Structure 1
Amino acid sequence: MNKVYETIIKNYGYDEPVFTRDLKKRIEMSDEALRQNLKRLSDGGSLIKVKNGIYYVPRENSVLRNPRINLDKVITRRYMRTSNNKVIGYTTGINFANKLGLTTQTASVSTIVTNEVGRPEHEVKFGKKIVKLKKPRVRIDARNYKLLQVLDLLNEFDRVSEVPLENAVGAIKIYLNDNDCTSSELNIFIKKYPRKTLENLIEMGGVL
Protein backbone atom coordinates (compact mmCIF):
# COMPACT_ATOMS: atom_id res chain seq x y z
CA MET A 1 0.00 0.00 0.00
CA ASN A 2 1.18 3.54 -0.76
CA LYS A 3 2.89 4.97 2.35
CA VAL A 4 1.08 8.30 2.11
CA TYR A 5 -2.31 6.62 1.61
CA GLU A 6 -1.66 4.28 4.53
CA THR A 7 -0.78 7.23 6.79
CA ILE A 8 -3.92 9.09 5.76
CA ILE A 9 -6.21 6.11 6.39
CA LYS A 10 -4.59 5.43 9.76
CA ASN A 11 -4.76 9.02 11.02
CA TYR A 12 -7.83 10.45 9.27
CA GLY A 13 -9.98 7.67 7.87
CA TYR A 14 -12.62 8.16 5.19
CA ASP A 15 -14.55 11.33 4.35
CA GLU A 16 -12.38 13.46 6.66
CA PRO A 17 -10.45 16.55 5.54
CA VAL A 18 -6.72 15.95 5.08
CA PHE A 19 -4.54 19.06 5.06
CA THR A 20 -1.11 18.69 3.51
CA ARG A 21 0.48 20.96 6.11
CA ASP A 22 -0.72 18.58 8.86
CA LEU A 23 0.22 15.51 6.85
CA LYS A 24 3.81 16.77 6.59
CA LYS A 25 4.09 16.49 10.37
CA ARG A 26 3.01 12.83 10.31
CA ILE A 27 5.23 11.50 7.56
CA GLU A 28 8.96 11.73 6.86
CA MET A 29 9.08 12.75 3.22
CA SER A 30 10.30 15.73 1.21
CA ASP A 31 7.71 18.29 0.12
CA GLU A 32 8.24 17.36 -3.52
CA ALA A 33 7.84 13.61 -2.88
CA LEU A 34 4.69 14.23 -0.85
CA ARG A 35 3.27 16.44 -3.59
CA GLN A 36 3.92 13.76 -6.21
CA ASN A 37 2.35 11.06 -4.05
CA LEU A 38 -0.75 13.15 -3.44
CA LYS A 39 -1.07 13.91 -7.15
CA ARG A 40 -0.70 10.22 -8.02
CA LEU A 41 -3.35 9.22 -5.48
CA SER A 42 -5.64 12.01 -6.65
CA ASP A 43 -5.23 11.13 -10.33
CA GLY A 44 -6.02 7.50 -9.49
CA GLY A 45 -9.17 8.38 -7.53
CA SER A 46 -7.88 7.16 -4.16
CA LEU A 47 -7.88 10.76 -2.96
CA ILE A 48 -10.18 13.59 -3.95
CA LYS A 49 -8.84 17.12 -4.02
CA VAL A 50 -11.12 19.73 -2.44
CA LYS A 51 -8.79 22.65 -3.20
CA ASN A 52 -5.05 23.26 -2.98
CA GLY A 53 -3.70 21.62 0.17
CA ILE A 54 -6.96 19.87 1.11
CA TYR A 55 -7.94 16.28 0.24
CA TYR A 56 -10.10 13.43 1.51
CA VAL A 57 -10.43 9.67 0.99
CA PRO A 58 -13.84 8.66 -0.44
CA ARG A 59 -15.43 5.47 0.81
CA GLU A 60 -14.98 2.59 -1.61
CA ASN A 61 -18.66 1.64 -1.50
CA SER A 62 -19.91 5.16 -2.17
CA VAL A 63 -23.01 5.09 -4.40
CA LEU A 64 -22.20 8.56 -5.72
CA ARG A 65 -20.49 8.82 -9.07
CA ASN A 66 -18.63 11.93 -7.90
CA PRO A 67 -18.69 11.85 -4.09
CA ARG A 68 -18.29 15.16 -2.26
CA ILE A 69 -17.07 15.89 1.22
CA ASN A 70 -19.15 18.00 3.60
CA LEU A 71 -17.69 21.50 3.16
CA ASP A 72 -18.82 22.54 6.64
CA LYS A 73 -16.60 19.77 8.00
CA VAL A 74 -13.66 21.04 5.96
CA ILE A 75 -14.18 24.60 7.21
CA THR A 76 -14.51 23.44 10.81
CA ARG A 77 -11.31 21.38 10.63
CA ARG A 78 -9.39 24.18 8.92
CA TYR A 79 -10.46 27.13 11.03
CA MET A 80 -12.24 26.06 14.23
CA ARG A 81 -11.38 22.60 15.53
CA THR A 82 -8.46 20.48 14.34
CA SER A 83 -8.47 16.72 13.81
CA ASN A 84 -7.01 16.25 17.31
CA ASN A 85 -9.85 18.39 18.72
CA LYS A 86 -7.78 21.51 19.42
CA VAL A 87 -10.00 24.62 19.44
CA ILE A 88 -8.61 27.33 17.16
CA GLY A 89 -11.70 29.34 16.23
CA TYR A 90 -15.44 29.95 16.54
CA THR A 91 -18.44 31.32 14.66
CA THR A 92 -19.58 34.84 15.35
CA GLY A 93 -22.05 37.43 14.08
CA ILE A 94 -25.65 36.75 13.10
CA ASN A 95 -25.25 32.97 12.90
CA PHE A 96 -24.00 32.79 16.49
CA ALA A 97 -26.85 35.06 17.63
CA ASN A 98 -29.23 32.71 15.82
CA LYS A 99 -27.73 29.72 17.64
CA LEU A 100 -28.54 31.42 20.96
CA GLY A 101 -32.09 32.17 19.82
CA LEU A 102 -31.56 35.93 19.70
CA THR A 103 -32.53 36.30 16.04
CA THR A 104 -34.41 34.37 13.37
CA GLN A 105 -32.03 35.60 10.69
CA THR A 106 -29.06 33.68 9.30
CA ALA A 107 -26.16 34.90 7.21
CA SER A 108 -25.34 33.15 3.93
CA VAL A 109 -21.70 34.09 4.49
CA SER A 110 -20.60 32.72 7.85
CA THR A 111 -18.10 34.70 9.91
CA ILE A 112 -15.39 32.80 11.76
CA VAL A 113 -12.86 34.22 14.20
CA THR A 114 -9.75 32.05 14.02
CA ASN A 115 -6.10 31.83 14.99
CA GLU A 116 -5.44 30.55 11.46
CA VAL A 117 -5.48 33.92 9.75
CA GLY A 118 -2.84 36.55 9.16
CA ARG A 119 -4.85 39.52 7.95
CA PRO A 120 -7.42 41.24 10.20
CA GLU A 121 -10.28 40.22 7.90
CA HIS A 122 -10.76 38.53 4.53
CA GLU A 123 -12.95 36.02 2.68
CA VAL A 124 -12.12 32.52 1.45
CA LYS A 125 -14.08 30.30 -0.92
CA PHE A 126 -14.71 26.54 -0.73
CA GLY A 127 -16.61 25.51 -3.84
CA LYS A 128 -19.65 27.78 -3.83
CA LYS A 129 -19.38 28.42 -0.10
CA ILE A 130 -17.86 31.71 1.06
CA VAL A 131 -16.57 32.26 4.60
CA LYS A 132 -15.44 35.51 6.18
CA LEU A 133 -12.40 35.10 8.44
CA LYS A 134 -11.46 37.49 11.23
CA LYS A 135 -8.37 37.70 13.40
CA PRO A 136 -9.09 37.22 17.14
CA ARG A 137 -8.47 39.97 19.70
CA VAL A 138 -7.17 37.25 22.06
CA ARG A 139 -5.59 33.96 20.96
CA ILE A 140 -8.31 31.30 21.04
CA ASP A 141 -8.17 28.03 22.97
CA ALA A 142 -10.55 25.49 24.48
CA ARG A 143 -10.87 27.43 27.75
CA ASN A 144 -11.65 30.88 26.41
CA TYR A 145 -13.46 30.48 23.09
CA LYS A 146 -17.00 30.64 24.49
CA LEU A 147 -16.26 33.73 26.53
CA LEU A 148 -14.66 35.43 23.52
CA GLN A 149 -17.71 34.51 21.43
CA VAL A 150 -19.97 36.24 23.93
CA LEU A 151 -17.74 39.32 24.11
CA ASP A 152 -17.89 39.52 20.31
CA LEU A 153 -21.67 39.23 20.57
CA LEU A 154 -21.87 42.06 23.09
CA ASN A 155 -19.64 44.19 20.88
CA GLU A 156 -22.13 44.02 17.99
CA PHE A 157 -25.29 43.20 19.91
CA ASP A 158 -27.50 45.93 18.42
CA ARG A 159 -26.69 44.73 14.89
CA VAL A 160 -27.15 40.97 15.32
CA SER A 161 -29.90 40.55 17.93
CA GLU A 162 -33.65 40.98 17.52
CA VAL A 163 -34.29 40.89 21.27
CA PRO A 164 -33.22 43.46 23.89
CA LEU A 165 -30.13 42.77 25.94
CA GLU A 166 -32.02 42.13 29.17
CA ASN A 167 -33.93 39.30 27.44
CA ALA A 168 -30.71 37.71 26.20
CA VAL A 169 -29.08 37.29 29.61
CA GLY A 170 -30.62 33.86 30.26
CA ALA A 171 -29.45 32.36 26.95
CA ILE A 172 -25.97 33.79 27.40
CA LYS A 173 -25.68 32.43 30.95
CA ILE A 174 -26.73 28.96 29.79
CA TYR A 175 -24.18 29.04 26.97
CA LEU A 176 -21.43 30.00 29.41
CA ASN A 177 -22.49 27.43 32.00
CA ASP A 178 -19.26 25.43 31.57
CA ASN A 179 -16.98 28.45 31.18
CA ASP A 180 -14.07 28.29 33.60
CA CYS A 181 -12.22 31.50 32.73
CA THR A 182 -11.50 33.60 35.81
CA SER A 183 -12.60 37.16 36.53
CA SER A 184 -9.03 38.34 36.10
CA GLU A 185 -8.92 36.75 32.63
CA LEU A 186 -12.19 38.45 31.74
CA ASN A 187 -10.73 41.78 32.83
CA ILE A 188 -7.74 41.20 30.54
CA PHE A 189 -9.93 40.19 27.60
CA ILE A 190 -12.40 43.08 27.95
CA LYS A 191 -9.57 45.59 27.54
CA LYS A 192 -9.09 44.29 24.00
CA TYR A 193 -12.65 45.28 23.06
CA PRO A 194 -14.32 48.64 22.35
CA ARG A 195 -16.03 50.53 25.18
CA LYS A 196 -19.45 49.39 23.91
CA THR A 197 -18.64 45.80 24.89
CA LEU A 198 -17.94 46.80 28.50
CA GLU A 199 -21.07 48.95 28.63
CA ASN A 200 -23.23 46.01 27.50
CA LEU A 201 -21.51 43.73 30.00
CA ILE A 202 -22.29 46.18 32.80
CA GLU A 203 -25.89 46.48 31.60
CA MET A 204 -26.18 42.70 31.87
CA GLY A 205 -25.10 42.95 35.49
CA GLY A 206 -21.66 41.46 34.84
CA VAL A 207 -23.12 37.92 34.71
CA LEU A 208 -20.11 36.54 32.82
Structure 2
Amino acid sequence: MNITADIKTKIARIDTGEVFTYDTLAIPQGEFSAAAKALSRLVANGIIKRYKNGIYYKPKQTVFGELKPREDVLLKNYLFENNKQIAYVTGVRLYNQLGLTTQIPNVVRLASKDKQIKTTIGNLVIKPAKSYVTVTKKNIPLLQLLDVIKDFKSIPDLDKKQGIAFLKSSIKNLSDTDKNKLVDFAKVYPPKVRALLGAILQSLSLNELSKQLKETINYLSSYEFGLSQKILPSIENWNVT
Protein backbone atom coordinates (compact mmCIF):
# COMPACT_ATOMS: atom_id res chain seq x y z
CA MET A 1 0.00 0.00 0.00
CA ASN A 2 1.45 3.42 -0.98
CA ILE A 3 1.57 6.32 1.49
CA THR A 4 -1.51 8.07 0.03
CA ALA A 5 -3.69 4.96 0.30
CA ASP A 6 -2.31 4.27 3.78
CA ILE A 7 -3.18 7.79 4.96
CA LYS A 8 -6.71 7.58 3.50
CA THR A 9 -7.29 4.27 5.27
CA LYS A 10 -6.12 5.66 8.62
CA ILE A 11 -8.12 8.89 8.28
CA ALA A 12 -11.25 6.87 7.45
CA ARG A 13 -10.98 5.33 10.93
CA ILE A 14 -10.81 8.73 12.64
CA ASP A 15 -14.08 10.16 13.94
CA THR A 16 -15.35 13.49 12.63
CA GLY A 17 -14.27 16.36 14.86
CA GLU A 18 -11.15 14.48 15.98
CA VAL A 19 -7.74 16.11 15.69
CA PHE A 20 -4.74 14.23 14.30
CA THR A 21 -1.09 14.82 13.45
CA TYR A 22 1.75 13.02 11.69
CA ASP A 23 2.32 11.16 14.96
CA THR A 24 -1.31 10.02 15.03
CA LEU A 25 -0.99 8.64 11.52
CA ALA A 26 2.34 6.95 12.38
CA ILE A 27 4.00 8.34 9.26
CA PRO A 28 7.66 7.30 8.93
CA GLN A 29 10.04 10.26 8.79
CA GLY A 30 11.21 9.26 5.32
CA GLU A 31 7.64 9.56 4.04
CA PHE A 32 6.94 13.07 5.39
CA SER A 33 7.27 14.78 2.01
CA ALA A 34 4.89 12.38 0.26
CA ALA A 35 2.53 12.47 3.23
CA ALA A 36 2.44 16.27 3.20
CA LYS A 37 1.37 16.23 -0.46
CA ALA A 38 -1.28 13.60 0.23
CA LEU A 39 -2.68 15.56 3.16
CA SER A 40 -2.70 18.77 1.11
CA ARG A 41 -4.81 17.02 -1.56
CA LEU A 42 -7.25 15.82 1.10
CA VAL A 43 -7.49 19.39 2.43
CA ALA A 44 -8.10 20.73 -1.07
CA ASN A 45 -10.88 18.16 -1.55
CA GLY A 46 -12.53 19.15 1.74
CA ILE A 47 -12.11 15.70 3.30
CA ILE A 48 -9.99 17.10 6.12
CA LYS A 49 -9.17 20.59 7.39
CA ARG A 50 -5.81 21.99 8.41
CA TYR A 51 -5.98 23.70 11.81
CA LYS A 52 -2.31 24.68 11.89
CA ASN A 53 0.82 23.39 10.24
CA GLY A 54 0.97 19.67 11.03
CA ILE A 55 -2.39 19.60 12.84
CA TYR A 56 -5.51 18.42 11.00
CA TYR A 57 -9.10 17.45 11.78
CA LYS A 58 -12.06 15.84 10.09
CA PRO A 59 -14.79 18.50 9.87
CA LYS A 60 -18.08 17.72 11.55
CA GLN A 61 -21.22 19.28 10.11
CA THR A 62 -24.16 20.25 12.32
CA VAL A 63 -27.39 22.13 11.67
CA PHE A 64 -25.49 25.23 12.79
CA GLY A 65 -22.63 24.67 10.38
CA GLU A 66 -19.18 23.17 10.76
CA LEU A 67 -18.22 22.25 14.31
CA LYS A 68 -14.54 22.94 14.98
CA PRO A 69 -12.51 20.88 17.46
CA ARG A 70 -12.77 21.94 21.10
CA GLU A 71 -9.87 23.86 22.59
CA ASP A 72 -9.11 21.11 25.11
CA VAL A 73 -8.86 18.55 22.28
CA LEU A 74 -6.45 20.78 20.38
CA LEU A 75 -4.46 21.43 23.55
CA LYS A 76 -3.68 17.72 23.95
CA ASN A 77 -1.64 17.75 20.75
CA TYR A 78 0.94 19.99 22.40
CA LEU A 79 1.36 17.62 25.34
CA PHE A 80 2.81 14.81 23.22
CA GLU A 81 5.74 14.33 20.90
CA ASN A 82 6.46 11.10 19.03
CA ASN A 83 3.56 9.56 20.98
CA LYS A 84 5.28 10.32 24.31
CA GLN A 85 3.95 12.84 26.80
CA ILE A 86 6.40 15.71 27.16
CA ALA A 87 4.30 18.37 28.90
CA TYR A 88 1.39 18.89 31.29
CA VAL A 89 -1.05 21.63 32.23
CA THR A 90 -0.08 23.70 35.26
CA GLY A 91 -0.73 27.20 36.61
CA VAL A 92 -4.11 28.78 37.28
CA ARG A 93 -5.85 26.60 34.67
CA LEU A 94 -4.81 23.51 36.64
CA TYR A 95 -5.73 25.04 39.98
CA ASN A 96 -9.19 25.81 38.63
CA GLN A 97 -9.59 22.20 37.48
CA LEU A 98 -8.59 21.07 40.99
CA GLY A 99 -11.21 23.35 42.56
CA LEU A 100 -8.65 25.60 44.26
CA THR A 101 -9.67 28.79 42.45
CA THR A 102 -12.75 30.06 40.65
CA GLN A 103 -10.73 31.95 38.06
CA ILE A 104 -10.67 30.56 34.51
CA PRO A 105 -7.76 32.18 32.70
CA ASN A 106 -7.32 32.39 28.94
CA VAL A 107 -3.60 31.78 29.50
CA VAL A 108 -2.63 28.11 29.86
CA ARG A 109 0.78 27.14 31.18
CA LEU A 110 2.33 23.97 29.77
CA ALA A 111 5.25 22.62 31.79
CA SER A 112 7.98 20.68 30.03
CA LYS A 113 11.53 19.72 30.99
CA ASP A 114 13.22 20.36 27.65
CA LYS A 115 10.77 22.30 25.51
CA GLN A 116 9.19 25.75 25.64
CA ILE A 117 5.68 25.59 24.20
CA LYS A 118 4.24 28.87 22.94
CA THR A 119 1.19 29.12 20.70
CA THR A 120 -2.46 30.15 20.54
CA ILE A 121 -5.49 27.87 20.33
CA GLY A 122 -8.65 29.81 19.58
CA ASN A 123 -8.94 32.24 22.50
CA LEU A 124 -6.31 30.40 24.57
CA VAL A 125 -2.78 31.72 24.87
CA ILE A 126 -0.29 28.92 25.57
CA LYS A 127 2.81 29.88 27.54
CA PRO A 128 5.69 27.73 28.79
CA ALA A 129 6.38 26.73 32.38
CA LYS A 130 9.26 24.84 33.94
CA SER A 131 9.09 21.16 34.76
CA TYR A 132 11.79 20.25 37.25
CA VAL A 133 11.90 16.61 36.13
CA THR A 134 11.30 14.76 32.88
CA VAL A 135 7.56 14.47 32.30
CA THR A 136 5.88 11.08 32.02
CA LYS A 137 2.20 10.21 32.01
CA LYS A 138 2.55 8.50 35.40
CA ASN A 139 4.37 11.28 37.25
CA ILE A 140 2.18 14.19 36.14
CA PRO A 141 -0.23 14.01 39.12
CA LEU A 142 2.75 14.17 41.49
CA LEU A 143 4.32 17.11 39.65
CA GLN A 144 0.99 18.93 39.68
CA LEU A 145 0.76 18.49 43.47
CA LEU A 146 4.24 19.95 43.85
CA ASP A 147 3.22 22.85 41.59
CA VAL A 148 0.26 23.55 43.88
CA ILE A 149 2.70 23.80 46.80
CA LYS A 150 5.13 25.95 44.78
CA ASP A 151 2.42 28.43 43.77
CA PHE A 152 0.35 28.09 46.96
CA LYS A 153 0.75 31.72 48.00
CA SER A 154 -0.12 33.12 44.56
CA ILE A 155 -3.14 30.97 43.63
CA PRO A 156 -5.98 33.49 43.09
CA ASP A 157 -8.73 33.56 45.77
CA LEU A 158 -7.39 30.38 47.38
CA ASP A 159 -8.90 29.49 50.74
CA LYS A 160 -5.67 28.46 52.46
CA LYS A 161 -7.38 26.16 54.93
CA GLN A 162 -9.10 24.31 52.10
CA GLY A 163 -5.86 24.33 50.13
CA ILE A 164 -3.97 22.59 52.93
CA ALA A 165 -6.85 20.13 53.39
CA PHE A 166 -6.68 19.34 49.66
CA LEU A 167 -2.92 18.72 49.81
CA LYS A 168 -3.15 16.56 52.93
CA SER A 169 -5.95 14.46 51.50
CA SER A 170 -4.22 14.07 48.10
CA ILE A 171 -0.91 13.04 49.67
CA LYS A 172 -2.52 10.73 52.21
CA ASN A 173 -4.29 8.84 49.44
CA LEU A 174 -1.10 8.21 47.44
CA SER A 175 0.42 4.76 47.40
CA ASP A 176 3.63 4.30 49.41
CA THR A 177 5.56 4.17 46.13
CA ASP A 178 4.10 7.47 44.97
CA LYS A 179 4.73 9.10 48.35
CA ASN A 180 8.40 8.22 47.98
CA LYS A 181 8.45 9.51 44.40
CA LEU A 182 6.81 12.75 45.52
CA VAL A 183 9.59 13.32 48.04
CA ASP A 184 12.29 12.46 45.49
CA PHE A 185 10.82 14.92 42.97
CA ALA A 186 10.50 17.59 45.66
CA LYS A 187 14.25 17.48 46.21
CA VAL A 188 14.79 19.26 42.87
CA TYR A 189 12.06 21.84 43.51
CA PRO A 190 12.81 25.14 45.34
CA PRO A 191 13.48 24.88 49.10
CA LYS A 192 10.11 26.44 49.97
CA VAL A 193 8.35 23.47 48.33
CA ARG A 194 10.39 21.01 50.37
CA ALA A 195 9.64 22.96 53.55
CA LEU A 196 5.85 23.03 53.14
CA LEU A 197 5.73 19.45 51.88
CA GLY A 198 7.82 18.41 54.88
CA ALA A 199 5.39 20.12 57.24
CA ILE A 200 2.44 18.40 55.56
CA LEU A 201 4.15 15.00 55.72
CA GLN A 202 4.89 15.54 59.41
CA SER A 203 1.24 16.43 60.04
CA LEU A 204 0.34 13.07 58.43
CA SER A 205 2.85 11.28 60.70
CA LEU A 206 4.99 10.37 57.68
CA ASN A 207 8.07 11.18 59.69
CA GLU A 208 10.64 9.17 57.74
CA LEU A 209 9.71 10.99 54.55
CA SER A 210 9.60 14.40 56.20
CA LYS A 211 13.05 13.75 57.69
CA GLN A 212 14.46 13.28 54.18
CA LEU A 213 13.29 16.77 53.26
CA LYS A 214 14.42 18.30 56.56
CA GLU A 215 17.97 17.39 55.65
CA THR A 216 17.79 19.34 52.37
CA ILE A 217 16.79 22.79 53.62
CA ASN A 218 18.65 25.53 55.47
CA TYR A 219 17.36 25.74 59.04
CA LEU A 220 18.18 29.48 59.06
CA SER A 221 15.87 30.24 56.12
CA SER A 222 12.17 31.02 56.38
CA TYR A 223 9.44 30.37 53.85
CA GLU A 224 6.37 32.57 53.55
CA PHE A 225 3.07 31.05 52.41
CA GLY A 226 0.62 33.16 54.41
CA LEU A 227 -0.15 30.24 56.72
CA SER A 228 -0.80 30.08 60.45
CA GLN A 229 -0.22 27.28 62.94
CA LYS A 230 -3.98 27.11 63.36
CA ILE A 231 -4.22 25.86 59.77
CA LEU A 232 -1.13 23.62 59.91
CA PRO A 233 0.46 23.31 63.40
CA SER A 234 3.58 21.52 62.11
CA ILE A 235 4.82 24.58 60.20
CA GLU A 236 6.56 25.82 63.35
CA ASN A 237 9.16 23.08 62.83
CA TRP A 238 9.85 24.13 59.25
CA ASN A 239 10.17 27.93 59.45
CA VAL A 240 7.03 28.23 57.34
CA THR A 241 4.72 31.18 57.90
**Which category describes the TM-score, using the shorter chain as reference length?**
0.7 to 0.9
Q: Deviations over 1:86-131 (max 9, x none)?
A: 654332112222233322222221112246x623xx5211234211
Counterpart in the other structure of 2:33 = 32
CA distance in 2 between partners of 1:43 and 1:179 (Å) = 52
**Aligned pair 1:43/2:44, yes or no?**
yes
Amino acid of the residue matched to residue 67 of structure 1? L
Amino acid of the residue matched to residue 88 of structure 2? Y
Counterpart in the other structure of 1:7 = 10
CA distance in 2 between partners of 1:182 and 1:26 (Å) = 36
Per the TM alignment, residue 41 of structure 1 is displaced from its structure 2 partner at its CA by: 0.3
1:75-94 pair list within 5 angstroms:
75-79=75-79, 87-94=85-92
Contact 1:101 1:171 in 2 (8 A): no
SS at match of 2:67: coil
Q: TM-score, normalised by structure 1?
A: 0.79
CA distance in 2 between partners of 1:185 and 1:169 (Å) = 20
Q: TM-score, normalised by structure 2?
A: 0.69
CA distance in 1 between partners of 2:63 and 2:174 (Å) = 41
Q: Deviations over 1:148-182 (max 9, x none)?
A: 10101111110015345443233234445355644
* RMSD of aligned alpha carbons: 3.0
Amino acid of the residue matched to residue 108 of structure 1? N
Contact 1:112 1:134 in 2 (8 A): yes
Per the TM alignment, residue 67 of structure 1 is displaced from its structure 2 partner at its CA by: 3.3
CA distance in 2 between partners of 1:179 and 1:90 (Å) = 21
Counterpart in the other structure of 1:125 = 120
1:19-168 pair list within 5 angstroms:
19-23=21-25, 25-26=26-27, 30-59=31-60, 62-79=62-79, 87-114=85-112, 118-119=115-116, 122-163=117-158, 165-168=160-163
Is the radius of gyration larger for structure 1 or structure 2?
A: 2
Q: 1:14 to 1:29 in 2, by over 3 A?
A: farther
- Which consecutive unaligned segments of at least 5 residues does structure 1 have? none
Q: 1:205 to 1:106 in 2, by over 3 A?
A: same
CA distance in 1 between partners of 2:10 and 2:123 (Å) = 30
Tell me how many residue pairs correspond in the alignment: 200
SS at match of 1:104: coil
Larger RCO (CA under 8 A, 6+ residues apart): 1
Counterpart in the other structure of 2:195 = 199
Q: 1:190 to 1:71 in 2, by over 3 A?
A: same
CA distance in 1 between partners of 2:37 and 2:124 (Å) = 28
- Which segments of structure 1 move beyond 6 Å, counting only runs of 4 or more? none
Q: 1:29 to 1:9 in 2, by over 3 A?
A: farther
* Percent identical: 27
